[in-house]
Amino acid sequence: MATTEDTIGRTKKINLTRSARTPFRSYFDFFMTFLTGAFTILTIVPLVALVWDVVRQGIDRLGIQSFTELPPPPGLEEGGFGNAILGTLITLGIAAAISVPFGVLAAIYLSEFGRGTRIAYGVKFATNVLAGIPAILAGLFAYTVVVLTTGGFSAFAGGVALSVVMIPIVVRATEEGLLLVPQEMRQAAVGVGATNFQSISRIVVPAALPSIATAVTLALARAGGEAAPLLFTALNNNFWSTDIWQPIATLPVLIYFYAIIPYEAQKEIAWAAALVLLGIILIVSISSRLLARQRL
């Protein structure tokens, strides 16, 4: 025990042997660590459960016929969802053809020309707000712009709707990739007399190409799983179709329709299609994220 004087001169005994860290503070710390750790595990449980259930329910029905055959009419058993896989690829192709050039150009502006300007600030703001727009509104937009003017549901309308979903992802990820290119490379290009276009097209973009590819892949993975924008644009089609002006089947829409109708065979096909869709998206997402991390 030692003594000390407080501010008005009274002598007080203070205990120097005992830590100021009372048991309560220690227990509280332990409790909070435990609690947040539990939260972390709790967050991942649904993902693991979902993947496990999709694999368990989908694997039985999955076979070569899943990729090559048409879905069965209600009441029949056999069949697959080959047309929906093809349809997803076609709509994604249209979406990529619109969103990739557009998004990459915008990203080039943001990282090469407009860094720090008010315009760039505004464009980034618009990109982020666009990313927050619900996918179903992208569908309504494409419905009013494409379906109503061309007179019918079509794969093209679906592609337009998905491109709205893809654009912000492409812009943001491509810009990040371009920003990773060292400033020295640009200076060296300009130093040997390259114009902006030459320096960007021959030096900066090739150097950032892997990140741009990752950006596009992530955007495709995201858009490929969207059903909401396709519900009243690409609609659905029970047959093979490659005509971009006709309705087309896609995996997400097929899963939605088959999940809510009461036929056992269709339900099984929905699970198998979910397994294919989820498998592709998870593999693409994991590998592109790992690649992106390696580059950093």
Which 13-52 positions form the footprint of other proteins (CB under 8 A)?
A: 20-21, 25-26, 28-29, 32-33, 35-37, 39-40, 42-44, 46-47, 49-50
Q: Which two tokens stand for residue 51?
A: 């993947």
Q: Among residues 155, 169, 221, 249, which is the contact residue for other proteins, using CB under 8 A?
A: 221
Q: Among residues 14, 76, 129, 185, which is the contact residue for other proteins, using CB under 8 A?
A: 129
Per the document, the length of the chain is 296
The stretches of 109-263 forming alpha helices (DSSP H) are 118-132, 135-142, 148-150, 155-180, 183-191, 196-198, 205-224, 251-259
Q: Which two tokens stand for residue 103?
A: 């998004």
Contacts of 26 (CB under 8 A, 6+ apart): none
145 is an interface residue for other proteins by CB under 8 A: yes
Q: What Å distances lie between residue 214 and 12, 22, 169, 254, CA to CA? A: 67, 51, 11, 27
244 is an interface residue for other proteins by CB under 8 A: no
- Scanning 78-86, 97-105, 206-214, 241-249 for contacts with other proteins by CB under 8 A, the matching segment is 97-105
> Per CB under 8 A, which of residues 61..80 are in contact with other proteins?
none
241 is an interface residue for other proteins by CB under 8 A: no
> Per CB under 8 A, which of residues 250..269 are in contact with other proteins?
252-253, 255-256, 259-260, 267
Q: Which of 82, 86, 87, 88 is nearest to 69 (CA)?
A: 82
Q: Shortest gap between Cβ of 7 and other proteins (angstroms)?
A: 20
Q: Among residues 152, 261, 286, 295, which is the contact residue for other proteins, using CB under 8 A?
A: 286
> Per CB under 8 A, which of residues 164..183 are in contact with other proteins?
164, 167-168, 171
Q: Shortest gap between Cβ of 63 and other proteins (angstroms)?
A: 19
- How many CB atoms are closer than 10 A to CB 12? 9
Q: Decide: helix, strand or coil at residue 296.
A: coil
Residue 268 backbone phi and psi in degrees, to 5: -65, -40
234 is an interface residue for other proteins by CB under 8 A: no
132 is an interface residue for other proteins by CB under 8 A: yes
**Nearest residue (CB) to other proteins, 33 versus 242:** 33
53 is an interface residue for other proteins by CB under 8 A: yes
Q: Shortest gap between Cβ of 121 and other proteins (angstroms)?
A: 8
Residue 14 backbone phi and psi in degrees, to 5: -120, 150
**Nearest residue (CB) to other proteins, 83 versus 99:** 99
> What letter does residue 230 receive in the DSSP assignment?
G
Compute CA 295 distance to the chain's CA centroid, rounded to the nearest angstrom: 20
